[in-house]
Amino acid sequence: MSRRVRDIDANQDLISEGDSPEDVHLILEGFAVRYKLTTQGRRQILAYMIAGDFCDVHVTLLRRMDHGIRTLRPSRVVRISPGTLLEILERQPAIARAIWLCGLVDEATQREWLVNVGQRSAPQRIAHLFCEMHVRMGIVGLTSNGSFELPLTQEELGDTMGLSNVHVNRSLKELRESELVTLRNGQIVISDVDRLKAFSGFDPSYLHLERTAPFAPADTDIA
C-alpha cells in the first residue's frame, strides 16, 4: 500500500470539481482544503484537512466530485482504491466504524462552520476557527502550548469565513490588540485559550472528543 503514497507540492489541486477520481485519498501529512467556486468566481473553503483525514470517501458511491480539493502546503497523501477500501470496511469492522465515525465528526464540523459564518461577527468567526484548529491540531500532536502552525493567507482565511481579505486583516488586528490571539507567518499563538473560547462562543462538543479518536495521534504510519 505504501507504493501508493504520493508527495504533492503546495497549491496543487489534488482533485478538481467535476472529476471522477479512481481512488480515495487520505492525508498523511500536510494541509489541504476542500473548496467550491461559485458561478460568480468567488471561492468558499469548506473544510481543512490535516494528517489522518480522508478527502473523498464519497467517490465510492458518488461519481462526480461536487467540489475540489487543494493542498496549501506540501503534503503526503496515500491513494486507496475503492475496492481495497470496501474490502477493508468489510473485513475489519473496527476500522469501518472508525472511518464512519470520522465522517460523522466531519459532518458535525461542517454544521458548526455554517453556524459560524451565519451567526457570528468577523472577529468571533476567526477566533472560533482558531479554537477548533487548536483542538484538532492537538489531537494529532501538532500543538505546543497554545501555539501551532496554520498556513493560511488572510485571503484564504477570508474565503473560509465569507469575509474579504481586508476585513480579515482588520479583525486579526483587533484580536491581536485584545491580546486574544496572534497570527504571524502562519503561526498561531493563543495567549489565553479560555478567554478565546469565551469570546468566540466555542464549545467543542461538536467534535465528539469523548469518543477517543480512532486513528491515534501522530501515528501517521497507518499505511
Partner DNA sequence: CGGCTATTTGAACACCTTCAAGTACGGTGG
Partner DNA sequence: CCACCGTACTTGAAGGTGTTCAAATAGCCG
How many angstroms separate the CA atoms of 133 and 65, rounded?
25
Tell me which of DNA, a second copy, none is bound by residue 223, counting a contact when its beta carbon lies within the kind-specific cut-off of 5 to 8 angstroms: none
Q: Which of residues 112-151 bind DNA (CB under 7 A)?
A: 121-123
> Amino acid identity, residue 51?
A
Q: Which of 153, 203, 211, 219 binds DNA (CB under 7 A)?
A: 153
Check binding of 61 to a second copy (CB under 8 A).
yes
How many angstroms separate the CA atoms of 112 and 132, rounded?
10
Strands in the chain per DSSP E: 5-8, 13-15, 24-29, 32-37, 43-49, 68-71, 75-80, 147-149, 181-184, 187-190
Q: Which stretch binds DNA (CB under 7 A): 43-51, 62-70, 105-113, 158-166?
A: 158-166
Most distant CA atoms of the chain, gap in Å: 54
Stretch 147-176: interaction string toward a second copy, x if CB under 8 A: --------------xx--------------
Tell me which of DNA, a second copy, none is bound by residue 195, counting a contact when its beta carbon lies within the kind-specific cut-off of 5 to 8 angstroms: none
Q: Which stretch binds a second copy (CB under 8 A): 70-78, 109-117, 143-151, 184-192?
A: 109-117
Check binding of 43 to DNA (CB under 7 A).
no
183 grid coordinates: 497570527
The four Cα atoms 170, 176, 181, 182 give a dihedral, to 10 degrees, of 80
Min. distance of Cβ 174 from DNA in angstroms? 9
Q: Which of 138, 162, 201, 214 binds DNA (CB under 7 A)?
A: 162
Q: Which of 49, 127, 172, 175 binds DNA (CB under 7 A)?
A: 172
Of the candidates 153, 155, 161, 156, which has an alpha carbon nearest to the alpha carbon of residue 132?
161
| Residues 6 or more apart in contact with residue 53 via CB below 8 angstroms | 26, 27, 102, 106
Check binding of 92 to DNA (CB under 7 A).
no
Min. distance of Cβ 77 from DNA in angstroms? 22
Check binding of 165 to DNA (CB under 7 A).
yes
Task: Specify the DSSP class assigned to residue 212.
Answer: P
Residues that bind DNA (CB under 7 A): 121-123, 153-155, 158, 162-167, 169-173, 185
